[in-house]
């Protein structure tokens, strides 16, 4: 179970991080149906961590995607992990063995502050290294769905600030969505102020609530 001493928090649920990804991020964004669409799909994430969300998303996407579909996964990460640490973390789930092996094979042994851009056929992975708010602000892309997956709001409040949520909204495609494991009141208020319609949903593994929603008021983020 990867743990960050800097933020005093685990990278994902101690119950089952892979199933948490499926429940919170894939389920919360209702991606199962969207994976089958012919249009290119862009998913953006705050915090790459071990790459678990990417690997599980890729696994589920390729099970339902049409022949000409493409998936672009863009993550904003301040402290990318070494290759060995990612390999060790992802080895816990045999379900993503193929995706983990492909990721580890191309991942830098000791990442620095350089962006990481990898290609896996119809799937691309871009990890933009640095402070999330700054990197999202200068990102030229638009996300169809967001995984808001920073460390707990109480331990890493910068990853849930009003300013960052405004940038998230500004880089969300029309009708785009978000999902996150937290339902902290101030996080929901920041998302709503940025223009998202926010709703609570049942959380994962005994966690009472999470939240998800869609970009509704685009004028707030112009």
**Cα–Cα distance for residue pair 198/39, rounded to 1 Å:** 25
For the chain, domains (ranges, CATH) are 3-221 (3.40.50.150)
pLDDT single digits (tens) 101-160: 999 999 999 999 999 999 999 999 999 999 999 999 999 999 999 999 876 777 778 899
What's the pLDDT at 151?
64
**Cα–Cα distance for residue pair 8/151, rounded to 1 Å:** 9
pLDDT single digits (tens) 33-91: 899 886 799 999 999 999 999 999 999 999 998 888 999 999 999 999 999 999 999 99
What's the pLDDT at 222?
53
Distances (CA, A) of 29 to 12, 51, 58, 76, 143: 18, 18, 15, 18, 12
What's the pLDDT at 3?
46
State if pTM tops 0.85.
yes
């Amino acid at each position: 179970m990867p743990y960050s001493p800097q933020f005093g928090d685990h990278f994902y649920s101690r119950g089952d991080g892979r199933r948490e990804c499926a429940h919170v991020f894939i389920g919360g964004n209702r991606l199962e149906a969207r994976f089958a669409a012919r249009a290119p799909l862009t998913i953006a994430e705050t915090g790459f961590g071990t790459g678990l969300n990417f690997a599980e998303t890729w696994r589920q996407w390729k099970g339902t995607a049409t022949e000409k579909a493409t998936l672009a996964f863009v993550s904003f990460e301040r402290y990318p992990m070494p290759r060995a640490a990612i390999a060790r973390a992802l080895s816990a789930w045999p379900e993503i063995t193929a995706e983990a092996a492909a990721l580890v094979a191309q991942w830098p042994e000791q990442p620095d502050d350089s962006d990481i851009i990898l290609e896996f056929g119809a799937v691309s992975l871009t990890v933009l290294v640095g402070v999330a708010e700054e990197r999202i602000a200068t990102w030229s892309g638009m996300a169809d769905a967001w995984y808001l997956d920073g460390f707990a709001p109480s331990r890493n409040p910068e990853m849930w600030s009003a300013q960052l949520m405004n940038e998230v909204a500004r880089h969300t495609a029309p009708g785009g969505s978000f999902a996150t494991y937290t339902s902290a009141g101030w996080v929901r208020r920041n998302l709503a102020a940025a223009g998202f319609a926010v709703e609570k949903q049942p959380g994962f593994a005994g966690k009472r609530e999470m939240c998800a929603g869609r970009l509704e008021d685009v004028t707030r983020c112009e």
